[in-house]
Structure 1
Amino acid sequence: MSAFHFLFLCLLFLTPISNASTTATARQPRPNALVIPVKKDAKTLQYVATIKMRTPLAPVNVFVDLSGPFLWVDCEDGYVSSSYRPTPCGSPKCEVAKSSGCIVECHSAPRPGCTNNTCDVVLDNPFIKDFLYGGGLAEDVIALQSSGGRKPGMLGLARTPVSLPSQLASKSGLPHIFSLCLPSSTTSNGVMIFGNKHYVSLPDKIDYSKLLTYTPLIINPVSTAPSFRVGDSSYEYFIQVKSINVHGKRLPINRKLLSINKDGFGGTKISTRTPYTSLHTSIYEALAEAYSNAAASMNISRVEPPLGDFPACFSSKNIEHTATGPRVPAVDLVFEDNNVWRISGSDLMVQAEDGVMCLAFGDEGENARTSIVIGGRQLEEKLVVFDVASSKLGFSNSLVGGGTNCANFNL
């Protein structure tokens, strides 16, 4: 177990969850890597990690958020810690966290989440859209398992100086790199790995670090956050998709949507907030039509009307099932470097009801800020590596196809 002091955000009175980040580290041996087990929440379809925080250490549940700039927790929920330190207004840490102001007067006795002269930081709650919250910046101890609950907060993994990966890299001496292997089941674990580049799975001891495909991470020059300063770039993770193929055939779509324009619209990002990949309406409609034609060629018929959030559904009568899921036409995301992210089998289809499977993609609308958002379902049971130091993204094929899953990494 390795313990570190981290900057974090305490949300004030406004919601049952609050923001946390990390700080300085005690003298201890440098770890080879840091790991956090991850579970899938059946109700929200979000991914939940449990970390230990405070003095004395106590377990804290946090949602995994690739789009989150902070680690935040609920300081209204009996937060007690002897190592808690509020961050004074005007301090350098306030500027690093892009503080929106100062909490001048807190109308209760001083305690975690309520201290005078503390940096105020604005954040959004991904479960309540179009609503902003404020919280006080502070720091406390976080302990993570090294290699070689309460109400949930949010574990921000974005490209900001105060996200968990950034602070771990600066305080542990580990490379600025982290990996996700998200579980598809609500009954088994996945894992987050910080600072390691070698990933060996059981039972066959496959070294997936040698089997990853890489594509560059790119910067959206305009912030996609609900609140930002003029001139800020986005801290989310974007990649450049140049085309989409269905069953080997390129979709006829407006390629301008695949690039980020001067106003920050378009492009492709990766998000754990979105349970299923979502697409700009014109891309979705082209995909649904092409997919229906490809499915018909395999004697798979489309079902009308649509079911729930899934506009394109199909009869499963003639769908063969394999170890990696239903045998259906594949969808390929093709990158500028011609590498391909293949979406197939269980990544591609969701069982909507008996005898009906639906394409696990959503229609984000004609005014979608980002044209393609790769969601959680398409990330599951794959090793996805965010090499921030080298500005590249690595990804594996489905681990299930290799006879393993995200619960079987030898750490």
Structure 2
Amino acid sequence: MHLLIQLTVMVVAFISHEHKVVAQYVQPYTSIVVPVIKHTDAAKPLYSVQIMTSFANSQYMKANFLIDIDAPLIWHDCILKWNISPGSCPSNTLCTSPVSCEEDYCTDVRTTYSYDNPSCPPVTNSSTLPGWGYCTCPVNVVDPVTGACVQALLNYDDFTVNTSNGSNVFSGLYGPSPNAACAPTSSFESFPVNVNGVMAFSSSPYALPAYLYQPLKKILALCLPSNSSAPGVLFFGIGPYSLLPHSDVDLRSLLSYTPLLKQRDSFGYFIDVKSIVIKHVSIDIPEHATSKFSTTEAYTTLRTDIYNRVIQTFSMATIGIPHAKPVAPFTLCFRTFDMGTRVGLKFPDMDFSLPDGKKWTISPTNSMKQVTKDVVCLAIVDGGVATEHSIVIGTFQFEDNFIVFDLENSAFGFSSSLLGEQTSCANFNFTIT
């Protein structure tokens, strides 16, 4: 009897120890991480992330997706197969499972989260798959390059990405399973070479962040590279985040924060820009003007009344630097050589003044675009008198800046140019450990 009691105590102690070990286990990763590629072979500079899409022939297939922080859902080049058995999918083709038009997902996406665009045709329930017996679920999406409407078919998708502690990439993988949509291969003719999808990182319930769960926190950190020779980096998770050669520096220590705002009928990200300041001259922004971020517009676009005041103020701040003939889409350009001699170019910073006395400094690295060997232009575009948003902050303005969309706390975090910290967005260590 005494021996039985001892054995019982030992078993209970062992089980208790095992539970304690499980309870104390913490995932080694704090985020997922993917490389960001800059593309310059389309109508405008664009950025993609590389995602693993399926496992075949003992390896993962990979695809490049445009980064879109405004799109309501993910869509890409794939085909629907209701019975995906081994060998049923053509080689080098991604096959996914269809969503039926009778499912709630279909109704929800089509009525609430699909694009509302006059150029989009009405969706119907007439299409079916051979042998399936159910109708598929067409949804409308919009090409971010051309603005053309594309009809795609809603699916059940699976993606795979690497995990990270913010400094290293782990061999462990994370696999979200979002609803996405399959579009015909011809839909991607306007895209950069080898880019055949749109990855939605917006606040929509059908964008990728909605499918990323614990232990990940809903924080999107983005570092766009300034050239295509080396990738930048995108994190989704709490951090820390670091870049070489200063792997001991957490990039969060460089950030200032301002509230993220919501706008009706948009899944994009907005902030409150109070004024634009150039060399101590403040250009006030109207109280109800909206300031939006875009990863598909190359340069910051300003409503005409704001644009004209910025151009005038910047011209006054750069008296003495010889002007050059404008180069579209820019109107204020300068010569880097005058009478055969290189001009000493000293352009002022441009500050976006934000609530609570915060400011986001756009240095000349992110405001002046070298368009030819001899000409540099202010990389701001006139959006017209009736543009929907007074300010649309484009990608050139945050290349080699570290920016964070903190969806947990509805905050936008921003650094200024990382070049001043002797690093760049191309300095993340993607070696798998």
* Category of TM-score, reference length = shorter chain: 0.7 to 0.9
Q: Provide the residue aligned with 1:405 in structure 2.
A: 424
Q: Secondary structure at the match of 1:406?
A: coil
Q: Provide the residue aligned with 2:228 in structure 1.
A: 186
**Which structure carries more strand by proportion?**
1
1:14-25 equivalence runs, <5 A: none
Q: Provide the residue aligned with 2:85 in structure 1.
A: none
Contact in 2 for aligned 1:384/1:396 (Cα 8 Å): yes
- How far off is 1:72 after superposition? 1.1
Contact in 2 for aligned 1:55/1:81 (Cα 8 Å): no
Contact in 1 for aligned 2:129/2:136 (Cα 8 Å): no
Q: 2:323 aligns with which of 302, 306, 316?
A: 302
CA distance in 1, matches of 2:131, 2:256: 51
CA distance in 1, matches of 2:297, 2:371: 18
1:151-162 equivalence runs, <5 A: 151-162=195-206
Q: Secondary structure at the match of 1:152?
A: strand
Matched, 1:372 2:391: yes
Q: Quick check: 86-95 or 185-194, which moved more?
A: 86-95
Q: Provide the residue aligned with 1:11 in structure 2.
A: none
- How far off is 1:55 after superposition? 4.1
Q: 1:137 aligns with which of 154, 167, 185?
A: 154
Q: 1:34 aligns with which of 32, 49, 52?
A: 32
Q: Quick check: 30-39 or 331-340, which moved more?
A: 30-39
Q: Provide the residue aligned with 2:410 in structure 1.
A: 391
CA distance in 1, matches of 2:194, 2:210: 25
Q: Quick check: 395-404 or 48-57, which moved more?
A: 48-57
- How far off is 1:268 after superposition? 0.3
Contact in 1 for aligned 2:46/2:298 (Cα 8 Å): yes
Q: Secondary structure at the match of 1:241?
A: coil
TM-score (norm: length of structure 1): 0.79
**Residues paired across the two proteins, number:** 349
CA distance in 2, matches of 1:292, 1:155: 39
Q: Secondary structure at the match of 1:337?
A: helix
CA distance in 1, matches of 2:317, 2:128: 63
Paired AA for residue 63 in structure 1: L
Matched, 1:197 2:239: yes
Q: Provide the residue aligned with 1:175 in structure 2.
A: 217
- How far off is 1:66 after superposition? 1.1
- How far off is 1:274 after superposition? 0.5
Structure number with bigger Rg: 2
- How far off is 1:110 after superposition? 6.5
CA distance in 2, matches of 1:213, 1:289: 29
Q: Quick check: 72-81 or 271-280, which moved more?
A: 72-81
| CA displacement 1:1-59 (0-9 Å, x = unmatched) | xxxxxxxxxxxxxxxxxxxxxxxxxxxx6842101101100223100211111343311
Contact in 1 for aligned 2:123/2:140 (Cα 8 Å): no
CA distance in 1, matches of 2:138, 2:129: 17
Matched, 1:241 2:273: yes
1:268-307 equivalence runs, <5 A: 268-296=291-319, 299-303=320-324, 305-307=325-327
CA distance in 2, matches of 1:301, 1:150: 41
Q: 1:342 aligns with which of 361, 383, 389?
A: 361
Point out where structure 1 has 5 or more consecutive residues left out of the alignment.
Answer: 1-28, 224-233, 260-265, 321-325
1:35-50 equivalence runs, <5 A: 35-44=33-42, 45-50=45-50
- How far off is 1:316 after superposition? 2.1
Paired AA for residue 137 in structure 1: L
Q: Secondary structure at the match of 1:367?
A: coil
Paired AA for residue 58 in structure 1: M
**Which structure carries more helix by proportion?**
2
- How far off is 1:98 after superposition? 4.2
CA distance in 1, matches of 2:55, 2:241: 32
Residues 289/363 of structure 1: CA separation in 2 closer, same or farther (3 Å cut): same
CA distance in 1, matches of 2:387, 2:223: 27
CA distance in 2, matches of 1:180, 1:347: 16
Q: Provide the residue aligned with 2:99 in structure 1.
A: 87
- How far off is 1:109 after superposition? 3.6
CA distance in 2, matches of 1:286, 1:71: 38
Contact in 1 for aligned 2:129/2:135 (Cα 8 Å): no
- Root mean square deviation, CA, Å: 2.5
Paired AA for residue 218 in structure 1: L
CA distance in 2, matches of 1:66, 1:90: 29
